[in-house]
Structure 1
């Protein structure tokens, strides 16, 4: 009997086969499916690989980036205007998200960009989490360009598979693919270190200001 993860993977592979059979119209269907997966917290790696297998590196990267950005924006808007209470409870007490929220208030575009480049931040939950921060819609969408390096890599790996039935398995990598993979990993590590240092600095500054404000409040009047 199939478990839930296997069922989802099979359903996604079947949907990709259906999209391929649709021809040009399949692009719109692909984007809609990608959006639904993003909103429903389904990881998009299989769909991204499928985009490479169906459309190749160039067009696959374009379609996947458009689909991922639209899906992330829909989730962001749902988090801000529809499910704000649920999202707030979901991330309540999470030190990382609280630090991101504080940092976003000062430099929304930079934080969104860095977290998109970093592989340690969960893409689907982060979409909703940004909705309850002070980041503007404009900065959020522009910061999504940080998804592009990882998108191109996964699309490229999907294009190597060629066959949709094999995209869930790791394809044998060419030397160029291995180099690209390491470049993305190094870029992601650098982004992770940068965003961690940045939000830690902002958190310390906010704490110092809070302590100073508390001390001032307790100071006796002249």
Structure 2
């Protein structure tokens, strides 16, 4: 949120002067301003977009602070996946130390199924987000 606020209050006016008359940026700015929550949410779902850069970029657009903050919940699926992967790594370290679970085959089957499901859901959501974002931006720039 700090990067968003820096972009909004320290750089937006300067950037607006530099790109005055740029129809493409104006269309994107208008689309983000009108569909701020949706666009922020969709870009947060996709790991393709670097969050730090997006934070500043959204500050330069017309997206409201409320839409920016609420749309940032889109980071939750990816975060859950990374935490889950980290917990699997911790389990691997535990097994290597001799503290194996009582039924390792069942435990590993559950972990593998959970991992595959987490990755599949994340990829599915990412794909949906990319398609919806491309559709939204192309609709607004026409």
Contact 1:120 / 1:192 at 8 angstroms: preserved in 2? no
Q: What SS class does the counterpart of residue 34 from structure 2 fall into?
A: coil
Q: In the alignment, does 2:14 pair up with 1:82?
A: no
Q: In the alignment, does 2:110 pair up with 1:189?
A: no
Q: In the alignment, does 2:141 pair up with 1:203?
A: yes
Deviations 1:140-171 (A, max 9, x none): 100111111111111111122228x9xxxxxx
Match of 2:67 among 129, 132, 139: 139
Deviations 1:49-74 (A, max 9, x none): xxxxxxxxxxxxxxxxxxxxxxxx11
Distance 1:203 1:101 in 2: 10
Which residues of 2 match residues 29-108 of structure 1 at below 5 A?
Answer: 73-84=1-12, 88=15, 100-108=28-36
Distance 2:26 2:85 in 1: 35
Distance 2:27 2:122 in 1: 25
Distance 2:116 2:27 in 1: 34
- Higher RCO (C-alpha under 8 Å, 6+ residues apart): 2
Deviation at 1:85, TM superposition (A): 6.7
Which 5+ residue runs of structure 2 have no aligned equivalent?
Answer: 94-107
Change (3 A) 1:84 1:106: closer
Considering only aligned residues, what root-mean-square deviation do their CA atoms show, in Å? 2.8
Contact 2:41 / 2:71 at 8 angstroms: preserved in 1? yes
Deviations 1:20-57 (A, max 9, x none): xxxxxxxxxxxxxxxxxxxxxxxxxxxxxxxxxxxxxx
- How many residue pairs match? The answer is 120
Distance 1:101 1:82 in 2: 17
Deviation at 1:117, TM superposition (A): 1.0
Deviation at 1:175, TM superposition (A): 2.5
**TM-score, normalised with respect to structure 1:** 0.48
